[in-house]
Chains A and B, each alone.
Chain A
Amino acid sequence: MRGKEMLDAVGYLDETLILKAERPEQKKSIWKLWTTAACICLLLGGLMIPQLLSGHTDNSILSSINRIYDLFNAMFISENGKLTDDDYIAQIADLPVNDAQLYASFESLDEMIESTHANVIVRCTVAERGDCIVYDPWGSYSEDDLDADVDISVAAQRCLSTSYTLTISDCYLGNLAVGDEITFYAPYGILDGYTYRKARVPLFGVGAEYILVLRAEEINGEIVYNLSYTPDSVYVVANPSNSKYSAVETAEGSLFYVYRDDVSAVEAHIRALVSENNYNTTIEKFTSGKNKQ
């Protein structure tokens, strides 16, 4: 019982200490992560080029590359950017990028844009909310996998995403025009009773307006838009009262933070960042490969 009371007394630690320990650590780790990953990609690229030139490819190298993509994908969809899931950690355990397991956080929007290689920032309205699907542009998992054995099913559930049609009302970074419509997949959703983590309500309300920081890639010829990073990539501009879910409900039902700052200030900040920094807006092209183990 006395240990219990000591544990309770710890609850009264000085507030400075509590807040300091709440702050995400390892700000540097994301840089190390990207640097390490870049080195690995260069290394793998270096290893592959002679083989590609000779017309041969080594499956183990291709597999490693796919797993590195998995790693980044995992980082982007995992809650708060942490790679906390045992099987993702197991998946990357033998890769020389252990920093990926560490906490990634950014102190500024600028740092987040640069570190996550965000290449599109838009203001947009949700025109339509589509169905929840198993969305895996890398082709590893499909809807059928939800009913597969536990490991595969859990992995497929992680890919559950809900599609949204977004109408662009302003483009701060990237090559989208006002009035363009894009399809965007946000993590989470419910399909046939399957869900993942706390995804009880869709994140985005139809008719609601957001500023989104996105990472666009071309995969198998299709432009794919994802949030560049959670939780710092969503700003709620307006969520009409007739929306099924209020902004607060959607925020609490998801793991994204919602910024309620003055929108014009957010826009001004983003515009200043974009004009001051030469952010890369290139949309990289990838070809997906089956990498299901």
Chain B
Amino acid sequence: MDDNKIIALYINRDETAVAQTAEKYGQRLKRISYDITEDAQTAEECENETYLKAWNTIPPQNPVDYLFVYLARIIRHISLDVCRTRGRQKRSAVITELTAEMEECIPSPDDIVSRLEYQELGAAISRYLYTLSDEKQMIFIRRYWYLDSVETIARRLGIGQSKVKMTLLRCRKGLQEYLWKEGYEL
């Protein structure tokens, strides 16, 4: 079923919307969550929460042109939250490490997010990423969106781990400068 029809089901409060969504995107969504949580049961729970959240937010949201990405964002957010709140030791350590890496991109000590909507900041980061090569984009997004390990990224791209680490370091520095130049915080 195409996305237009699935969205129409949500808007008409037809409960088959969830089943259709699960059928079309369930596997991909669960994969995103599993990569973050590394736990099949948790991934399933996150998947179910994602459907609930979609049910509660469509309408008023109408992600007709980007339903998968809309759901993917939700499940990523939920999965991250689960890792943080449940404090599973191994995954928490990974999230903490990623959080520390992202700290390096913040251009000032002020609380940047309190004055900028997440979406605006996400759009700014996107603009920065569009200035990079495909490979650098891939490395950055696989690390900070999909939360892949450095080893996984290296394997995926067929490059060395040291190259991945170096690219991430340069990307973080570049992003910090970009946000600074864009006037996000001076």
Chain A contacts of B61 at CB under 8 A? none
Chain B contacts of A7 at CB under 8 A? 80, 95, 98-99, 102, 144
Contact, CB under 8 Å: A260 / B23: yes
Contact, CB under 8 Å: A10 / B102: yes
Chain A contacts of B27 at CB under 8 A? 251-252, 257
Give the total of B residues in contact with A, Cβ under 8 Å: 51
Q: Kindly specify which of A21-29, A151-159, A166-174, A181-189 makes contact with the partner chain.
A: A21-29
Contact, CB under 8 Å: A13 / B126: yes
Q: Kindly specify which of A67-75, A95-103, A108-116, A140-148 makes contact with the partner chain.
A: A95-103
A191 to B13, CA, bound (A): 43
A65 to B49, CA, bound (A): 48
Chain B contacts of A84 at CB under 8 A? 152, 155
Q: A10-B125, A15-B66, A20-B138 given as contacts; is B23 within 8 A of A248 (CB)?
A: yes
Interface residues in B58-90 by Cβ distance below 8 A to A read 66, 68-69, 72-73, 76-77, 80, 84
Interface residues in B27-41 by Cβ distance below 8 A to A read 27-28, 30, 40
B52 close to chain A: CB less than 8 A: no
Contact, CB under 8 Å: A21 / B158: no
A17 close to chain B: CB less than 8 A: yes
A37 to B126, CA, bound (A): 40
Interface residues in B127-156 by Cβ distance below 8 A to A read 129-130, 134, 137-138, 141-142, 144-146, 152, 155-156
Q: A18-B72, A26-B158 given as contacts; is B118 within 8 A of A12 (CB)?
A: yes
A10 to B111, CA, bound (A): 16
Q: Which residue of B lies closest to A12 (CB)?
A: B122
B93 close to chain A: CB less than 8 A: no
Chain B contacts of A150 at CB under 8 A? none
A4 close to chain B: CB less than 8 A: yes
A149 close to chain B: CB less than 8 A: no
A14 close to chain B: CB less than 8 A: yes
A8 close to chain B: CB less than 8 A: yes
Contact, CB under 8 Å: B30 / A252: yes
Contact, CB under 8 Å: A102 / B156: yes
CB distance from A238 to the nearest CB of B (A): 15
CB distance from A100 to the nearest CB of B (A): 10
CB distance from A150 to the nearest CB of B (A): 18
Chain B contacts of A292 at CB under 8 A? none
Chain A contacts of B112 at CB under 8 A? 2, 5-6
Interface residues of A (CB under 8 A from B): 2-15, 17-22, 25-26, 29, 84, 99, 101-103, 197-198, 248, 251-252, 257, 260
- Sort A-B residue pairs by CB-CB distance and give the 5 closest, nearest first: A12-B122, A3-B103, A14-B126, A15-B69, A3-B99
